[in-house]
Amino acid sequence: MFQNFKTKKFWTDGTGSIFLAIFVALFIRWAFVEAYVIPSGSMLPTLLIHDHIFVNKFVFGLRVPFSQKFLFKTEGPQSGDIVVFKSPQKLTRFFIKRVVGTPGDKVYYEEGHLYVNDKLVEKRVPVENKSDFDWLRSEDFQGYQTPDQYVHWEEKLSDMSYSVILPKMQLPSDIYGPYIVPEGHYFMMGDNRANSSDSRRWDEDKRFVPYEYLVGRAMHVWLSCEETIPVVKFLCNPLTIRWKRFFHSVH
């Protein structure tokens, strides 16, 4: 009985409780939810640089630890979903993009216009009270570019509406495809269409993202800031926190 008491105390009050807490945290991170930080502007205006997001990993199935094999899979992401995945170009890198083509889809992109299965994806100027564009800063754009050189659009794919930005001056050479998405693969694009490394621009043999490379679907922003602490790049500068983006849904 005394031994049982010591064992219980070890797991509730002692060192064992620390190991148990670490195990539970790692289990949740492996199977259910993981946090990521947005490092670039490829998903503007939907996701901002230094947005901290939670990603639902269980939504695509349960993976064998430390491997790309799944214990079980779901139906996979739908067109319009924002997903985190391993880069087909380099598996040690993680990207976040929007799914615009699912297995069997025909995808074609021409001068700011997206076609899926030979149909033009609906695009319109968003309603006046839609504030996605208000978050954009000149610092988030490459080189000499500024927000006033872009147009904010609302695109609709598979009954899902979301924001994209396009430069006011489209390049005539901005043409990609058509591509047929292979079985078990997905075609990804960033919402900042002119400044995104995605399936349009990747090497031919690594253009599509296999199901096995999927990590999870973005859920919501839990922290956001305009600047990080210089010495510790992954920590937000508390003086630049974007308070209104807390628990902002990602869609």
Catalytic residue among 86, 97, 163, 196: 97
Following DSSP, what letter does each residue of the chain receive, concatenated?
Answer: -HHHHHHHHHHHTSHHHHHHHHHHHHHHHHHTEEEEE--SSTTTTTS-TTEEEEEESGGGEEEPTTSS-EEEE-S-PPTT-EEEEE-SS-TT-EEEEEEEE-TT-EEEEETTEEEETTEEPEEEPPPTT--GGGG--GGGSSTT--GGGEEEEEEEETTEEEEEEEESS--TT-EEEEEEPPTTEEEEE-SBTTS--STTTS-GGG-SEEGGGEEEEEEEEEEEBS-B-SSSTTSB-GGGB-GGGTTEEP-
Asked about 90 being catalytic, the answer comes back as no
C-alpha to C-alpha distance for 183 and 60, rounded to whole angstroms: 16
Structure tokens at 25: 């945290």
Q: Which amino acid is at 187?
A: F
Length of the chain: 251
Asked about 130 being catalytic, the answer comes back as no
C-alpha to C-alpha distance for 209 and 233, rounded to whole angstroms: 29
Asked if 63 and 214 count as a contact pair (C-beta separation under 8 A), the reply is no
Catalytic residue among 42, 163, 199, 224: 42
**Catalytic residue IDs:** 42, 97
